[in-house]
Amino acid sequence: MTDPHLEHSIFGGHEDAREGQPQARTRAERRRTTRPAKRRGRRSGCLFVALAVVALAAFAAYTVLRPVVDGFLESDDYPGPGTGEVQIVVNDGDTGSAIGRTLEKAGVVKSSSAYLDAAAADSRAAGIQPGTYTMKKQMTGAGALAILLDPKNRSVPRVTVREGLWKSEVFAALSKGTGVPVAEYTKAAKDAEAIGLPAGAKGNVEGYLFPSTYEFPVKATATQQLKIMVAKALDELEKAGVDEADYQKTLIVASIVEGEAGVADRGKVARVVENRLDDPNGPTVGLLQMDSTVNFALQKRGNLTKTEYDSAKSNPYDTYAHKGLPPGPISSPGAAAIEAAANPTEGPWFYFVTVNYDTGETLFAATQAEHDRNNAQRQAWCDANKPKCEGGG
């Protein structure tokens, strides 16, 4: 029989081993009980190291990228609505980018892109007009755009030059409206080439400053303003079908029509001028006999006394003393007077006279006898309304 003790030593224990006695284990059993403990300890250490590496990398990334992230997340637009007041000038020809830069530089918007983003979303932005706008600082891009789109917020040098003014009166009106000194207009008018005067004007801007309401570009010089007005006069002459060779004559006649017509039929007044010019042996023997030319010669508005008429005899603009057209225009004629001079009404009239200075009623006549009757009607009105009138047409 096998010794029980020997069996225990070979097989590592027996099912009948006494309770409380330690049992021997096989090599495989020992491996199964020890390896798991070793594996758990190694896994925990690796996990700790990995977490530490990730945390360190995250901290480094945050430290390095924080300025970039903050810059990306920070808005490029002010919250608005803005405070204070600032004047913004939009110049003629400014692009959207140029306007955005102007707004950013003035502190109106936080960045030009804030304005450009708002402008890109509104098709009306392409129609923003040059001028001066009153805005606030630290506005939103959309708020700044809204200001620029409202024409009520736009201020520009606006000047109305009425028909029939002499150049000295035009300069005064321009200066009052723009703030540019009269002396600068007087100087600019002497540079015929710079202001675009045609050769036929012989360097004299009189008559070429077209009457209209102008919105000049912001900060436009006297030269630039006069150039715009001269260009407008030339454009009106072209519209009336006048050849360049006839610009000067047409403007001279038109300026007389403007000075004489009042509310009268300009086409008929122009015909009277042409009939007198065309017939040097006619009733007026080639004399235009226009009061407006004497007013210009004396640079005095209103009705003139006999003494004043007599004092103008040596002046070439006195058409009572000198035959034919005066040397140049006597005022700035408007479009209606230019059209009348270019296309006079057909008729036989050699005379016209205003018989009521309050209403401007004017009568035309082909003969001296008819004119005398009309002039008697004028005289009766003047006798009843002294001193509203002196002299005749």
Number of domain units in the chain: 3
Residues 366 and 336 in one domain: yes
* In a domain? residue 94: yes
Range of the domain at 201: 158-239
Instruction: Determine the pLDDT at residue 303.
Output: 81
Considering the domain architecture, whether residues 179 and 143 belong to the same structural domain is answered as no
Q: What is the pLDDT of residue 1?
A: 45
Pick the last residue of a domain from 115, 131, 155. Answer: 155
- Give the pair of three-digit tokens for residue 260: 């004489």
282 & 372 share domain? yes
- 208 with 136, same domain? no
Position 124 in a domain: yes
Give the model's pLDDT for residue 327. 97
Is residue 97 located within the same domain as residue 209?
A: no
The answer to whether the predicted template modeling score (pTM) of the entire model surpasses 0.85 is no
Boundary-marking domain end, from 155, 184, 219: 155
Residues 193, 317: one domain?
A: no
In a domain, 214, yes or no: yes
In a domain, 70, yes or no: no
Q: How far is CA 178 from CA 41, 184, 332, in A?
A: 91, 12, 19
Q: Which residues pair with 354 in a beta bridge?
A: 362
Tell me, yes or no, whether 260 and 380 share the same domain.
yes
Give domain status of residue 347, yes or no. Answer: yes
Residue 376 pLDDT: 96
For residues 360, 361, 364, 367, the Cα torsion angle rounded to the nearest 10 degrees is -100
Domain match, 125 and 182 both: no
Res 91: pLDDT: 86
For residues 151 and 181, membership in a common domain is answered with no
CB environment 162-189: b (16+ within 10 A), e (fewer): ebbbbbebbbebbbebbebeeebbeebb
Note whether 201 and 129 are same-domain residues. no
Of 136, 155, 174, which residue sits at a domain end?
A: 155
* Amino acid 391: pLDDT: 46
Rg (CA), the chain: 48
- Regarding whether 262 and 334 lie in a shared domain, the answer is yes
- Judge whether 43 lies within some domain: no
In a domain, residue 177? The reply is yes
Within-domain flag for 46 = no
pLDDT along the chain (393 residues), means of 10: 42 42 50 50 56 58 51 76 92 91 96 95 93 94 96 89 97 95 98 97 97 89 97 97 97 96 88 96 94 95 89 95 96 97 97 90 94 95 82 44
Question: Does 254 share its domain with 366?
Answer: yes
Amino acid identity at 338: I
